[in-house]
A and B are shown apart, each in its own frame.
Chain A
């Protein structure tokens, strides 16, 4: 397992071989506020890169999570159905969204490491 990668859309990816776990960043959950509903993709669904994969709703706002890369959904975080606030409490751990099985290379120049992401958040947001 490698260190987390981050997208400019405020998702994180944890890459373990051909398995990629995806969630939203601490900054994203802070911006959203109290999460009250999460809709996850069905297991087995094939996602294209950039395709809408999940919906997240806080008390104030609704947002969507687009697949940062193509792959097949092999697991979803069932906990979030009953305890969506897990996303607030532990966004990069227990608050993960779904896991994708990915074919081929998993690399993207646009993804940021921890340090670059923090800098991006400070500069842009």
Chain B
């Protein structure tokens, strides 16, 4: 990866340092894993109980617009983009010709032919190339390199946002609005990556520090690092690209069938027409040989990414792709891929940790109930 001296800083770097953030290079940026005096477990619990502010400015923010933007986007993702209302959001996947996943992202409709995309930090460059190649002359792509992105997550996030931008109280999960906070123009969505109710705020990089400090001044808010972001999303059963999803994995194997709109499936009004459609729709009809599942774990040993999963006969039947300690459950949890015959709730398997078997069972996800605000 990039060497230490070309690691980038987000607009909140100084604030992270001031707050005692333990900084690590992540996807090319200096990012806080955790903060002094808090730590991953406390930060995790803070978000479940109150509210936490995350710097996610490392993620890619893009705009796609132009006369044929809707049609152009529908040719890239297996989603009924035109069915999205104004200021509504959808989860989407960039699929490959081979039926794998190039990245996962959130699309927000900003206009009839204007879309706001948030993509993974580590995939940014590759996504831009992919989009430029597929959009051609049909739509224009712009990178919002001067925008910061923050997430305010947790059950009391709505109270804080309600004071700063009252119109956000009207938002339901996966929708957004423009708002001005202290003179700063923001685009705020009710979304996130923790399983909690919460918001993501896109705003000019130059004003991000000021607004972050304003939010942190609320007694119920603490700054939260990447460590808790990971444990929160794992408990919520949400995938992390590059770990739980990659270009070798199809949306069907990834148990993301729900992310493929009905109209884009076989027999739908806008059937296929996205990269890898033939492979993916065939898998939907005929099944796949492996699937992503949740795993609950007996005892306290964390079962981490890469751990092999064995059946009762000791045969290799799968692998863990994300795993760790779930602070809300005070127990380890994991997710991974298993041969389809084992992808049933309650199936007993063992995971190899330091060459020793640990009893695990296939479990329903999310591990902790999602608490999105749906109105």
What is the bound-complex CA distance between A60 and B325, given in angstroms?
Answer: 8
Q: How far is the CB of B20 from chain A (nearest CB, A)?
A: 11
The contact of A59 among B300, B301, B324, B354, by CB within 8 Å, is B324
**A38: nearest residue on chain B (CB-CB)?**
B300
- Asked if B39 and A37 sit within 8 Å, CB to CB, the answer is no
- Asked if A33 and B302 sit within 8 Å, CB to CB, the answer is no
- B residues 40-54 near A (Cβ < 8 Å) are 40-42
**B325: nearest residue on chain A (CB-CB)?**
A36
- Asked if B304 and A59 sit within 8 Å, CB to CB, the answer is no
CB contacts (< 8 Å) of B41 on chain A: these are 34, 36, 59, 85
Q: How far is the CB of B338 from chain A (nearest CB, A)?
A: 23
| B34 contacts A by Cβ under 8 Å | yes
CB contacts (< 8 Å) of B39 on chain A: these are 33-34, 88
**A59: nearest residue on chain B (CB-CB)?**
B40
CB contacts (< 8 Å) of A57 on chain B: these are 301-302, 325
- Asked if B33 and A37 sit within 8 Å, CB to CB, the answer is no
| A116 contacts B by Cβ under 8 Å | no
What is the bound-complex CA distance between A84 and B299, given in angstroms?
Answer: 13
| B204 contacts A by Cβ under 8 Å | no
Contact flags B345-371 to A (C-beta < 8 A → 1, else 0): 000000000100000000000000000
Which range holds the interface residue count of chain A? Answer: 10 to 19
- Asked if B301 and A37 sit within 8 Å, CB to CB, the answer is yes
Contact flags B221-243 to A (C-beta < 8 A → 1, else 0): 00000010001000000000000
**A39: nearest residue on chain B (CB-CB)?**
B301
- Asked if B301 and A33 sit within 8 Å, CB to CB, the answer is no
- Asked if A60 and B227 sit within 8 Å, CB to CB, the answer is yes
What is the bound-complex CA distance between A89 and B59, given in angstroms?
Answer: 35
- Asked if A62 and B34 sit within 8 Å, CB to CB, the answer is no
What is the bound-complex CA distance between A36 and B329, given in angstroms?
Answer: 12
Show the binding face of B for A, using Cβ within 8 Å: 33-34, 39-42, 227, 231, 300-302, 304, 324-325, 327, 332, 354
Show the binding face of A for B, using Cβ within 8 Å: 33-34, 36-37, 39, 55, 57-60, 62, 81, 84-85, 88
Shortest 7 CB-CB distances between A and B: which pairs? A36-B325, A59-B40, A34-B41, A37-B300, A59-B325, A34-B39, A57-B302
Known: A37-B300, A37-B302, A60-B40. 9 other contacts (CB 8 A): A33-B33, A33-B39, A34-B40, A34-B41, A37-B325, A57-B302, A59-B40, A59-B325, A88-B39
